[in-house]
């Protein structure tokens, strides 16, 4: 029996995360079996497909990831904010197995099925605002962002799209153009799609302390002078930027942009791919400022690890595309829809919105105490279980990517799956599964404190 089979059987028999919730290293990272896989990867997989931590995963659940050498690592990444309900959540496993036995695919646009419609109904009810809504389902975050732009253009009859400094929206052609960071996402991959314009973000640590309304006025002036509302289909923004550095805009920035968009018949699109689904201590990050976007893009946390994404929004906008204009072979695949319905149930039944708030309190408390004694931590920021520290040179405030890399390497070597981010590569982000036990989270934070002390 392989380790994978053993873990699957253990999971099915116990009906829950059978994996011990502990950090346990039995080899160096990577161990011999992981090294074997990495050598095969180097021979077989394109170099452009990078990896963060050099392990061969065989099982994951609760707050741990287990590798082929028997090491149990603390998961502070959730596969980039995907497994909010925890890996292989029993409800998700059960729902997907049942769907698998019933049918695997018909293509919804050929022969429809209930799961897709039910996911759309749930999304229409859960996303901010109680107006009439529609949803369309896709496979990846980038694909959903592209479709949100298509829909906004069709509805407005305009072409321009505004995205922001530090934005990340994906790696397909249109979304590369919307994404801000050159290396590794864009360099050499052009030409990019036309009619994409960039506006300045509110970034309290680095924009001289502009208030939300000042930062919004700056962005709006630039949009009016350089694009013109009459040409603008949509403003696309992450309510808290993810890859760009967990940047939380100053209060008032997002509502001011949304108000301007409404007044100018510009579609306001919230990219909640990373912030969505309980992660920030609310269903969606837009809720923290009472924001009601015209369209909401979701993916990552939506389906417990199965590939699914969505655009949800105002019925009049969503219905602007003609039949056949939206869709794709796999969009809203029945297995992914079954997983999404079970995942949304799990967020509710397991109280994971409250859990995200509690994790946020714990992270802010511990990291805040670290920062009080360590001027290299320029800021602790974020909401709920989406928190980051930005590492800087204490003298100048300049980003310290080298220190960040050292701390992340220390975490990996000591059994913690940890991600960095940020335009300047100097932000460490915390995105634990919401099912992680407190003790495990605290242990992981201890490793990071040690890494900072050692660096």
Using DSSP, state whether 2 is helix, strand or coil.
coil
The smaller minimum CB distance to ligand PLP, of residues 19 and 254, is found at: 254
Q: CA-based Rg of the chain, rounded to a whole angstrom?
A: 22
Q: What is the spatial distance between Cα 95 and Cα 118, in angstroms, rounded to a whole number?
A: 14
Options 64-72, 137-145, 285-293, 330-338: segment touching ligand PLP (CB under 6 A): 137-145
* Kind and range of the H or E run holding 353: helix 352-373
The verdict on 82 binding ligand PLP (CB under 6 A) reads no
The smaller minimum CB distance to ligand PLP, of residues 142 and 385, is found at: 142
Options 129-137, 271-279, 404-412, 419-427: segment touching ligand PLP (CB under 6 A): 271-279
Least Å from the CB of residue 140 to ligand PLP: 4
Member of 69, 238, 294, 400 binding ligand PLP (CB under 6 A): 238
The verdict on 145 binding ligand PLP (CB under 6 A) reads yes
The residues, any chain, with a CB within 8 Å of residue 250's CB and separated by 6 or more, are 202, 204, 210, 211, 212, 215
Member of 31, 242, 331, 382 binding ligand PLP (CB under 6 A): 242
Would you give the DSSP letter of residue 28? P
Member of 299, 363, 431, 436 binding ligand PLP (CB under 6 A): 299
Q: What is the spatial distance between Cα 266 and Cα 229, in angstroms, rounded to a whole number?
A: 7
Q: Is 428 in contact with 416 (CB distance < 8 Å)? A: no
Tokens of 369: 């105490």
Q: Max alpha carbon distance in the chain (Å)?
A: 65
Q: Which of residues 17-46 bind ligand PLP (CB under 6 A)?
A: none
Q: Is 64 in contact with 440 (CB distance < 8 Å)? A: yes
Spell out, one character per residue from 168 to 187, where the chain touches ligand PLP: x when CB under 6 A holds, - when not: xxx-----------------
Least Å from the CB of residue 376 to ligand PLP: 26
| DSSP secondary structure of 167-193 | ----SSHHHHHH----TTTTTT--PPP
The smaller minimum CB distance to ligand PLP, of residues 84 and 242, is found at: 242
Least Å from the CB of residue 175 to ligand PLP: 7
Size of the site for ligand PLP (CB under 6 A): 14
The smaller minimum CB distance to ligand PLP, of residues 142 and 417, is found at: 142
Look-up of token digits 């929206």? 169
Would you give the DSSP letter of residue 289? G
The verdict on 142 binding ligand PLP (CB under 6 A) reads yes
The verdict on 141 binding ligand PLP (CB under 6 A) reads yes
Member of 140, 343, 420, 426 binding ligand PLP (CB under 6 A): 140
Would you give the DSSP letter of residue 16? S
Q: Which residues pair with 133 in a beta bridge?
A: 314
Residue whose C-beta lies closest to ligand PLP: 141
Q: Is 248 in contact with 281 (CB distance < 8 Å)? A: no
Q: Which of residues 326-365 bind ligand PLP (CB under 6 A)?
A: none
The verdict on 237 binding ligand PLP (CB under 6 A) reads no
Spell out, one character per residue from 149 to 168, where the chain touches ligand PLP: x when CB under 6 A holds, - when not: -------------------x
55: nearest Cα among 406, 386, 388, 414: 414
Give residues in contact with ligand PLP (CB under 6 A): 140-142, 145, 168-170, 238, 242-243, 271, 273-274, 299
């Amino acid at each position: 029996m392989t380790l994978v089979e053993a873990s699957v059987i253990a999971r099915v028999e116990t009906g829950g995360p059978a994996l011990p919730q502990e950090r346990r290293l039995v080899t160096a990272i990577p161990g011999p079996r992981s090294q074997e896989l990495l050598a095969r990867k180097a021979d077989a997989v394109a170099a452009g497909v990078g990896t963060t931590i050099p392990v061969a995963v065989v099982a994951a659940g609760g707050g741990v990831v287990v590798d082929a050498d028997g090491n149990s690592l603390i998961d502070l990444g959730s596969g980039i904010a995907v497994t909010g309900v925890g890996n292989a959540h029993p409800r998700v496993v059960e729902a997907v197995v049942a769907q698998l036995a019933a049918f695997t695919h018909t293509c919804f646009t050929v022969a429809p099925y209930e799961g897709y419609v039910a996911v759309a109904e749930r999304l229409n009810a859960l996303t901010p605002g109680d107006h009439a809504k529609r949803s369309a389902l896709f496979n990846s975050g980038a694909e959903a962002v592209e479709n949100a732009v298509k829909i906004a253009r069709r509805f407005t009859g305009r072409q321009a799209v505004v995205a922001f400094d530090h934005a990340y929206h994906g790696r397909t052609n249109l979304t590369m153009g919307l994404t801000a960071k050159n290396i590794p996402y864009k360099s050499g991959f052009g030409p990019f799609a036309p009619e994409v314009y960039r506006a300045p973000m509110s970034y309290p640590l680095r924009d001289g302390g502009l208030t939300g309304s000042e930062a919004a006025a700056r962005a709006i002036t630039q949009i009016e002078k350089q694009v013109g509302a009459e040409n603008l289909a949509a403003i696309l923004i992450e309510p808290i930027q993810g890859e760009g550095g967990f940047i939380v805009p100053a209060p008032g920035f997002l509502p001011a942009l949304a108000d301007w968009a409404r007044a100018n018949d510009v579609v306001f699109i919230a990219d909640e791919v990373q912030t969505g689904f309980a992660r920030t201590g609310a269903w969606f990050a837009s809720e923290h400022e009472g924001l009601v976007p015209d369209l909401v893009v979701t993916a990552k946390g939506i389906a417990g690890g199965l590939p699914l994404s969505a655009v949800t929004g105002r019925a009049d906008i969503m219905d602007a595309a003609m039949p056949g204009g939206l869709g794709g072979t796999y969009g809203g695949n029945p297995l992914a829809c079954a997983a999404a319905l079970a995942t949304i149930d799990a967020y509710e039944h397991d109280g994971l919105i409250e859990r995200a708030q509690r994790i946020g309190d714990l992270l802010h408390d511990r990291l805040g105490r670290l920062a009080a004694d360590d001027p290299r931590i320029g800021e602790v920021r974020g909401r709920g279980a989406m928190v980051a520290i930005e590492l800087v040179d204490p003298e100048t405030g300049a980003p310290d990517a080298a220190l960040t890399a050292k701390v992340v390497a220390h975490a990996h070597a000591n059994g913690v799956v940890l991600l960095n981010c940020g335009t300047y590569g100097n932000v460490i982000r915390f995105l634990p599964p919401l099912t992680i036990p407190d003790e495990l989270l605290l242990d992981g934070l201890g490793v990071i404190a040690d890494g900072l002390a050692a660096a």
